[in-house]
Amino acid sequence: MTHGYNFAYLDEQTKRMIRRALLKAVAIPGHQIPFGGREMPLPYGWGTGGIQLTAAVLGASDVLKVIDQGADDTTNAVSIRRFFARTAGVATTTVTTQATVIQTRHRIPETPLRDGQIMVYQVPLPEPLAKLEPSRAEAARMHALAEYGLMQVKLYEDVTRYGHVSISYDYPVLANHRYLMSPSPIPAFDNPKLHMSPALQLFGAGREKRLYALPPWTEVRSLDFDDHPFRATRAPQVCGLCGAADSYLDEVVIDDRGSRLFVCSDTDYCAGRQEAGHGG
Amino acid sequence: MAYVAVKGGERAIDNAHAWLAEARRGAAAVPELGVEQIAAQLGRAVERVMAEGSLYDRELAALAIKQAQGDLIEAAFLLRAYRTTLPRFAASLPVDTGSMRPLRRISAIFKDLPGGQVLGPTTDYTHRLLDFALLAEARPPAAPEAAASDAATPRVHDILGAEGLIEADAPGSAEPFDLTRAPLGFPAGRDARLQALARGDEGFLLALGYATQRGYGNTHPFVGEIRMGEVAVEIEPPELGFAIEIGDLALTECQMVTQFAGSKTEPPQFTRGYGLAFGQSERKAMAMALVDRSLRAEELGEDATAPSQNVEFVLSHCDNIEATGFVEHLKLPHYVDFQSELETVRRMRGERGA
Amino acid sequence: MSLDLPGFADPVADAQATFRSVLDALAHPGRIAAAGTALAAPPSLHPATAAVLLTLADGDTPLWLPPAFAAARDWLAFHCGVPFVATPAAAAFALADDLPAFDQFGSGSDVAPEDSTTLILQVAALGTGAAWRLSGPGLRTPETLAVTGLPDDFAARWASNHALYPRGIDLLLCCGRTLAALPRSVSVQEG
């Protein structure tokens, strides 16, 4: 462990402040709670919100998994995992089922989560209305009144113009029938995993200094219309390494003729399937 | 060609850091920069980093500049990340800039005034000719010295205030908002606004202040006064019941004066825009004062149409640590989201062709 | 004199463990979690109550402390540095042994429903006693929580709090070295 800093880096007063905000967030699913976010030793945009939440929940007996783009070995995931290994001395894992706390950027693991696990999402823009109403003060007023017509109109315009909603990631959801919420920039493919998840899901936005939560078993509906229901899409191929036909795929350019290989974005899921004898 | 998933992120990071350290040191034949050299000879950079890093510590700011290879925003970030780990002991009493013995003090609105105009160590009237003598180690001739004046240098604001011509200081709250502990919310009080501006990016404030002069948020400002020098910082611990001095700060203070035609409740008078920055940071203090006045448009019943008059716009975007993080994070992998966009665009093209 | 009593043996680890218990309890309404397992609580406080306050209360969280808890006041001031408030509506946390009227506490605003009071109620038993049927976020299917120490008209009183959603208070039930939670989002029926 790194000496000179408190367990998991943050001082206890800051942890208390974040913990209090997290408890409120759990009590009001999807509602963004302002918190006194601190500067972290990693830049804003690298996951400082998620890191602060993880630091506030993490204990010595936790097992931490960190993924970025679904992969454990992307450089930022490696960097954040090392940060907590150094400052908290916690055990880390790449295996989804072994983790008690999973910090993620842009993906939800393919392996179903279970009761007792905590997902921590890194969130760049927690305000789902930001692209329609840049003033956060005005957006807060709209949340207070549950006045989400602006978003419905935007989606409906998509449907009339393109035949369907054109949002492919960070697809807005309604949490517990009340708050419009950003699921963070996960692909829309992952949205159904938010709904009635057995895991506790925490969302941290460091630069914007907001946090919010979805308790386990909470209804999370991706906005849609009766005649244009929400569709989770993925590349139609199967994984070239493990043959999975149900996982989200990365498209990799493998030669200078532009040949493509489609492989699972979730490296743990893919490795597990390969070990079990599945092939591409 | 077989595809092998990219591994080895950890080693790549270690190697990148090792290379960075080597690049930072530069050619080994050149003597290494000392932190005390930076602190003493690159004072303006040190002061900017202290202001934007929200920490008054010349040595640590100099260290940050050295570590950041002279990237001042990176240096301010290093300082911020350090300061956030420090315990908070107290809120100081307001510093008394009126009792400062100024090293520099000028007013653009009076030809002369009590305490006089003091140019101080300014570049204002240097001719911007590269001084090739500095290519070698040159020791400048000693500057002439005079005995320090004991004359008081009252703040120009107080001189105008005696005649009631300028708005009075608003009564201060017992303990001001603390931007380092609480999130900014809107509407933001003047205390929160001034704190955000004081550590806001110098370039951003300069551009916005400049825009107000060119008509994007008219303020017609005059420099009432700029003063630079050291002031004592005092705290009043509740268990003592009296103030004790805990140190000195070098500050630049700027009071901009703007005519105000009056309102239903206020007589015609001059209004103020206020700028304060660590060290000798005149450009920052002046730009801040322009923007502060501009942000008061709504409060003073003026039309608020320019970006510099929009409190939420200015305060949400003036912090260069936040801004650089979010701009630069675009270089992190986004291929999962890009893949979802690819599928959407392919699907839309397919539907159009069908 | 309660000041002789120490706080957490390991302030960092014990606060983290207690927080996770409260988090688990709020995320799963009605689930009973351990808190204050090794803590010596001052008079009038159950160990779980004392642990929750050591974990969450500090100089930024005004506490409403009825006279029945006078014996714990010095301990709370010393270990938490918590300011005491006379008006329940201004309290971040409030303590009670008998269920007080909810409407005297802060229930937040429409914009900031989180600016509300968290009520910590000490009860005679958790897991035995009158049964209450809970449903809402955190519960896959309705669950039953048995409590000794809630008034007979609790469901009706809770309903008026729940009707304010997303405003409203959150309730922590503490008993001995255990706790359970009812966030404002949960519905309660007589079970």
A166: contact with C, CB 8 A cutoff: no
A88: contact with C, CB 8 A cutoff: no
pLDDT of residue A233: 87
**At residue C15, does pLDDT exceed 80?**
yes
Q: What is the mean pLDDT of residues B125-130?
A: 94
Among chain B residues, CA nearest to A188? B340
Contact B340 A35 (CB under 8 A): no
Give the neighbours of chain A: at least 3 Cβ pairs within 8 Å: B, C
Given pLDDT bands bounded at 50, 70 and 90, which one contains residue C187?
A: very high
Contact C170 A27 (CB under 8 A): yes
Which residues lie closer than 8 Å to C100 by C-beta, 6 or more apart? Answer: C66, C88, C94, C119
Collect all residues from C whose CB is shorter than 8 A from any CB in A: 11-13, 15-17, 19-20, 22-23, 26-28, 55-56, 58, 60-61, 92, 109-111, 113-114, 116, 118, 137-140, 165-166, 170, 183-185
Contact A216 C61 (CB under 8 A): no
CATH numbers and ranges of domains, chain C: 7-184 (3.40.50.11310)
d(C-alpha B155, C-alpha B116), whole Å: 11
pLDDT tens-place string over residues B53-79: 999 999 999 999 999 999 999 999 999
pLDDT of residue A1: 47
Structure tokens at A266: 């979730």
Q: 3-class DSSP state for residue A67? A: strand
Structure tokens at B162: 């005696």
Q: Where in the sequence numbering do the catalytic residues of A fall?
A: 30, 239, 242, 264, 270
Q: Low-confidence residues of chain A, pLDDT below 50?
A: 1
Q: Which of A5, A23, A84, A142 to mutate to test the interface with C (most CBs of C within 10 A)?
A: A23
B137: contact with A, CB 8 A cutoff: no
B86-119 in b/e burial notation, b at 16+ Cβ within 10 A? eeeeeebeebebeebbbbbbbbeeeeebebeebe
pLDDT of residue A4: 67
Please choose, from the candidates C30, C28, C48, C25, the residue with its C-alpha nearest in 3D space to the C-alpha of residue C38: C48
- How far away is chain C from the Cα of A70, in angstroms, using its nearest Cα? 26
Sign of CA dihedral B187, B189, B190, B192: negative
Q: C100: buried, middle or exposed (CB in 10 Å: 19+, 13-18, 0-12)?
A: middle
d(C-alpha A68, C-alpha A107), whole Å: 7
Given pLDDT bands bounded at 50, 70 and 90, which one contains residue C3?
A: low
Residue with tokens 């005059």: B222
The shortest CB-CB distance from A169 to any of B6, B325, B337 is to B337
pLDDT of residue B260: 83
Strand partners, A120: A103, A202
Q: 3-class DSSP state for residue A218? A: coil
Q: What is the mean pLDDT of residues B164-177?
A: 79
Among chain B residues, CA nearest to A41? B81
Please choose, from the candidates B68, B318, B77, the residue with its C-alpha nearest in 3D space to the C-alpha of residue B202: B318
Q: What is the mean pLDDT of residues B35-61?
A: 97
Given pLDDT bands bounded at 50, 70 and 90, which one contains residue B7?
A: low
- How far away is chain B from the Cα of A219, in angstroms, using its nearest Cα? 24
| CB contact at 8 A, B254 and B285 | yes
| CB contact at 8 A, A233 and B344 | yes
Contact C140 A198 (CB under 8 A): yes
Radius of gyration of chain A (CA): 19
A57: contact with C, CB 8 A cutoff: yes
pLDDT tens-place string over residues A67-121: 999 999 999 999 999 999 999 999 999 999 999 999 999 999 999 999 999 999 9
The shortest CB-CB distance from C166 to any of A19, A178, A217 is to A178
Radius of gyration of chain B (CA): 25
In what side-by-side order are the strands of the sheet with C118-122? C33-34, C178-182, C170-175, C118-122, C93-96, C63-64
| CB contact at 8 A, A70 and A109 | yes
The shortest CB-CB distance from A215 to any of C17, C27, C170 is to C27
| CB contact at 8 A, A214 and A220 | yes
Radius of gyration of chain C (CA): 16
**At residue C56, does pLDDT exceed 80?**
yes
The shortest CB-CB distance from A207 to any of B12, B322, B333 is to B322
pLDDT of residue A162: 85
The shortest CB-CB distance from A59 to any of C16, C55, C140 is to C16
Query: How does the average pLDDT of chain B come out, rounded?
Result: 91
The shortest CB-CB distance from A185 to any of B80, B337, B347 is to B337
Which residues of chain A make contact with B81, given a CB cutoff of 8 A? 39-41
Tell me the count of A-C CB pairs closer than 8 A: 103
pLDDT of residue C126: 98
Please choose, from the candidates B92, B91, B117, B113, the residue with its C-alpha nearest in 3D space to the C-alpha of residue B102: B117
Please choose, from the candidates A27, A92, A24, A96, the residue with its C-alpha nearest in 3D space to the C-alpha of residue A54: A92
Share of chain A above pLDDT 90, in %: 92
Among chain B residues, CA nearest to A251? B339
**At residue B173, does pLDDT exceed 90?**
no
Please choose, from the candidates A32, B196, A56, the residue with its C-alpha nearest in 3D space to the C-alpha of residue C56: A56
Give the neighbours of chain C: at least 3 Cβ pairs within 8 Å: A
Contact B343 A188 (CB under 8 A): no
Among chain A residues, CA nearest to B187? A137
Which residues of chain B make contact with A78, given a CB cutoff of 8 A? 9-10, 13
d(C-alpha B74, C-alpha B65), whole Å: 8
Structure tokens at B235: 């705290």
Q: How many CB atoms lie within 10 A of CB C22?
A: 25
pLDDT of residue B87: 83
Residue type, B24: R
pLDDT of residue A3: 57
